[in-house]
């Protein structure tokens, strides 16, 4: 399986729209642009905050203030999906 970007809009605290597009970890903005075109959404501003979250967690979220045009959702979330990545397990002994 290949790596992907999961793009979803959240409206009224629920998943509103979603789409998965091919993506590389180093170039999320290209995949995001493709997803936004398919969802007919404007492009949000990619700030340092978003880059830090992407670099550290492989995900970030955009709020309506991050868009130049008005949007009808509470947030846009993007998340990197790598099916071949090792699964992270909790270090909590109760999960053993």
The full set of domain ranges for the chain reads 4-84
pLDDT at 30: 95
pLDDT category at 96 given cuts 50, 70, 90 is: low
What are the two backbone dihedrals, phi and then psi, of residue 11, each rounded to the nearest 5 degrees? -135, 130
pLDDT at 20: 96
Contacts of residue 47, defined as CB under 8 A and 6 or more positions apart, other chains included, come to 66
pLDDT single digits (tens) 10-62:
999 999 999 999 999 999 999 999 999 999 999 999 999 999 999 999 999 99
Q: How far apart are CA 81 and CA 12, in angstroms?
A: 25
* pTM for the whole structure: 0.85
């Amino acid at each position: 399986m290949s790596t992907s970007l999961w793009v979803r809009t959240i409206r009224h605290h629920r998943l509103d729209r979603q789409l998965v597009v091919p993506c590389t970890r180093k170039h999320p903005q290209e995949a995001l642009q493709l997803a936004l075109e398919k969802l007919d959404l404007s492009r949000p501003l990619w700030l340092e905050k978003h880059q830090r979250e992407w670099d550290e967690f492989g995900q970030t979220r955009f709020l309506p203030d991050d868009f130049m045009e008005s949007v009808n959702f509470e947030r846009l979330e993007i998340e990197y999906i790598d099916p071949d990545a090792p699964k992270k397990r909790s270090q909590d002994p109760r999960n053993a």
